[in-house]
Amino acid sequence: MIRSFLIAGVATIFTTLAAAPAAVAQDYPKKPIRLVVPFAPGGTTDIVARVVAGNITPHLGQTMIVENKAGGGGVIGATETARAARDGYALGVATVSTVATVPAVQPNVPYNPLTDFTPIINMAATPNIISVHPSFPAKDYNGFLEEIKKNPEKYAFASTGHGAITHLLMELFMSMTGTKMTHLAYKGAGPALNDVVGGQVPIILDNLPSSLPFTKTGRLVPIVVAAPDRLKQLPNVPTFKEVGLEPVNRMAWYGVYGPKGLPTDILNKLHGAFTKTLEDSNVHARIEETASIVIANTPQEFAQQIKAEYDIYKKVVQERHIKPE
């Protein structure tokens, strides 16, 4: 009789434990959710995150609070997300820098970009663009390529940082075109643009939102963009794909992930809420105002995207012999 009681008790315990995750997921979320942006306020990553987080409550049932944890090219914020509890209350914004370019250049980052996160959704992507100062001898892509080919190492280009997407994408461009330029790494788009617009540096590869105001006023000349198609803002500027450089046709993007092992039910709830938010016409318009494109893919598609970005930039780092700073 005692034995039967013990067996029944153990069975009850296991039944309860087995049911617990489902119950937790069913009640989720019970409190506000933190969304860590791994960069300072004001940039495109922060803007997209705040637009989505500020409109997700009707679809999620709780508020989403954006917190900026800048530093290390996004590594500090990404590390916090990787180490968070697997309960869905601490998420992070994933960028090409945090999961691809920086880990490719610095293999000792304290997380594995392919295994330490649960990809949820890629919210939006931003075109990248090569632009030149108006004093540069060429004003279109063919002329630009001819000029830098004929004058190897004569010209320098500005990027937003060593190991940033704007650095490695230009390295990929030089590798595919057989050209040579000197890299000048800046601490962000602001100081890089200041020097290019001021004429101290002739070339820049940058995210479109920060460069676009200068192209509209004629202080920068757009040469070629990384985007699926020509942009309505720059209809006369070809894409990298058009000029025969499809591997360089890579955009910056802003996704959401959680720590690895996020329960499937919670993952599905989050993905559904983000998807509905991104379908909202006002949210869609606000994101497009930043010159970004809404993506809203599945967790599986986003995971494949992360791996593809990491693989290509790892190859760039190896082939170009790029070392950590």
Q: Enter the tokens of residue 51.
A: 């637009």
In tens, the pLDDT along 223-279 reads 999 999 999 889 999 999 999 999 999 999 999 999 999 999 999 999 999 999 999
pLDDT of residue 84: 98
CB-based burial of residue 195 (10 Å sphere; 0-12 exposed, 13-18 middle, 19+ buried)?
middle
User: For residue 85, what is the DSSP state?
Assistant: -
The pLDDT mean for the chain works out to 90
pLDDT band at 29 (very low <50, low <70, confident <90, very high): very high
> What would you measure as the largest C-alpha separation in the chain, in angstroms?
94
3-class SS shares of the chain: helix, strand, coil, % to 5: 45, 20, 35
Is residue 183 over pLDDT 60? yes
DSSP of 189-241: HHHHHHHHHTTSSSEEEEEHHHHHHHHHTTSSEEEEEESSS-BTTBTTSPBTT
> What average pLDDT does range 136-165 have in this prediction?
95
> What average pLDDT does range 69-84 have in this prediction?
92
Of 50-59, 122-131, 168-177, 205-214, the range with the lowest mean pLDDT is 205-214
pLDDT of residue 25: 61
pLDDT of residue 7: 44
pLDDT of residue 70: 85
User: Sign of torsion, CA 182 317 306 162?
Assistant: negative
> What average pLDDT does range 212-223 have in this prediction?
95
> Quick one: which H or E segment has residue 169?
helix 165-177
- Quote the CA–CA distance of 274 and 120 in Å, as a whole number: 9
In tens, the pLDDT along 93-131 reads 999 999 999 999 998 999 999 999 999 999 999 999 999
pLDDT band at 24 (very low <50, low <70, confident <90, very high): low
* CA angle centred on 24, ends 19 and 25, rounded to 5°: 100
> What average pLDDT does range 208-218 have in this prediction?
92
Is residue 153 over pLDDT 50? yes
pLDDT band at 145 (very low <50, low <70, confident <90, very high): very high
**What's the whole-model pTM score?**
0.82
Considering only CA atoms, which of 180, 212, 181 is closest in space to residue 197?
212
pLDDT of residue 290: 83
Domains, the chain: 32-126+251-320 (3.40.190.150), 128-248 (3.40.190.10)
pLDDT of residue 96: 94
pLDDT band at 48 (very low <50, low <70, confident <90, very high): very high
